[in-house]
Structure 1
Amino acid sequence: MAYPKIWFLRHGQTEWNAEGRIQGQLESKLSPLGIEHAQQQASLMAPILAQGPACFVSPLGRAQQTAQIALGGQPYTTDARLAEAQAGVFQGMTREEVAAQYPEIYAANPLNLDLFCAAPQGEGFAAFQARIAEFLNGLNEPTVVVAHGLWGQVLRGLICGLSRAEMAALPNEQGCIYELSQGGEQVLR
């Protein structure tokens, strides 16, 4: 399927990212480094925003905080489908706590995308991917998306035709922009 050009921004580092704590759909503010990440994105966004793309942002606070900085006050639409994977009982726990309390799940899912989607009472991969695909399939113009790490891995995987395992292995940088076009990606730094 052919998609319009998308510029994907992962939110800047949060206090919980710095602690290795699983956020899922819980809230954690940007750390000082996370604010720097959003400022780096802002410096890259000016020529992109000059093209007048549609802008969509996750409803979660860390993405909203990033968008305020990175989009420089540009108007945007909040879309609930852009929220991070709901990670069930793992939300609020560190990876070490998950390893101690759920050793079988942890051992079987070394990568974050798989681990979050294997969480008891969580959203699961199929529902998460379907939510992202629904959003993606509704786009018909160049679009800026400010959302989350795992969300972006699945988005990038769908556009680039990757398997679930390949999606889970994608790098998940902050402070950059993933430009997705014609079935490929370029990282803007």
Structure 2
Amino acid sequence: MVGFPKIWLLRHGETHWNAQGRIQGQLESDLTALGKEQAQAQARIMAPVLAANPACFVSPLGRAQQTAQIALGGRSFTTDQRLAEAYAGALQGLTRPEADSRWPGIIAANPNSLDLFCEAPDGEGYASFLARISDFMTHLRGPSVVVAHGLLGQVIRGLVLGLERRDMAVLPNEQGCVYLLENGTETVLR
């Protein structure tokens, strides 16, 4: 979808819970040593971009804040609550097998993380998640750097690319790279 400004999108580096396969949602888990290395790789990519002084927006969650401190080289940024990861309700903190034992069939019915988080018992739901991301996107006024999360990133990327939810849900969620979004296209910077 044309109409959004140029966006450099960074997913936070690997966390301890990512490494354990736990559903984080809006719960906190620090970056691993690998996660810090991934943020340093993003810093190398972002150095020439930051020289142009784009607006920088970061999720309030600790893993994104940690990543931003490294990847943005200490540059100041705006923390925006709308950039928090999807709230996965009762699934937060569980592994997929634990979730499936408590709610049999939930994993089979929602094999993609975007669907699982958005269909979680007592979770945020897709409509609310999409609404807050869309609200953030419509308020961007120029080239912007966004440091956030995998599922939130799938939706931002999907909005820029003009995708339906089912297509957003299968987008890759790489760490340590930067997704450059402009003019309805995506380029992965490594």
For residue 93 of structure 1, report the CA deviation from its aligned partner.
Answer: 0.3
Aligned to 2:178: 177
Does 1:75 pair with 2:76?
A: yes
Written as runs of structure 1 = structure 2, the 5 A alignment for 1:1-189 is 1-189=2-190
User: Under a length normalisation based on structure 1, what TM-score does the superposition of the two structures give?
Assistant: 0.99
Q: Which moves more between the two structures, 102-111 or 178-187? A: 102-111
For residue 86 of structure 1, report the CA deviation from its aligned partner.
Answer: 0.3
Q: List structure 1 runs of 4+ shifted beyond 3 angstroms.
A: none
Listed as ranges, the gaps of 5+ residues in structure 2 are none
CA RMSD of aligned residues (A): 0.6
Tell me the SS of whatever aligns to 1:103.
Answer: coil
AA in 2 matched with 1:179: L
For residue 19 of structure 1, report the CA deviation from its aligned partner.
Answer: 0.2
State how far apart, in whole Å, the 1-side matches of 2:86 and 2:25 are. 5
User: Under a length normalisation based on structure 2, what TM-score does the superposition of the two structures give?
Assistant: 0.98
Tell me the SS of whatever aligns to 1:180.
Answer: strand
Tell me the SS of whatever aligns to 2:146.
Answer: strand
State how far apart, in whole Å, the 1-side matches of 2:107 and 2:177 are. 29
For residue 85 of structure 1, report the CA deviation from its aligned partner.
Answer: 0.2
How many equivalent pairs are there?
Answer: 189
Residue by residue over 1:66-116, the C-alpha shift from the partner in whole angstroms, topping out at 9 and shown as x without a partner, is 000000011100000000000000000001111221122221100000001
State how far apart, in whole Å, the 2-side matches of 1:141 and 1:162 are. 22
State how far apart, in whole Å, the 2-side matches of 1:78 and 1:35 are. 20
For residue 43 of structure 1, report the CA deviation from its aligned partner.
Answer: 0.6
Tell me the SS of whatever aligns to 1:56.
Answer: strand
Listed as ranges, the gaps of 5+ residues in structure 1 are none
For residue 141 of structure 1, report the CA deviation from its aligned partner.
Answer: 0.4
For residue 140 of structure 1, report the CA deviation from its aligned partner.
Answer: 1.1
State how far apart, in whole Å, the 2-side matches of 1:134 and 1:159 are. 14
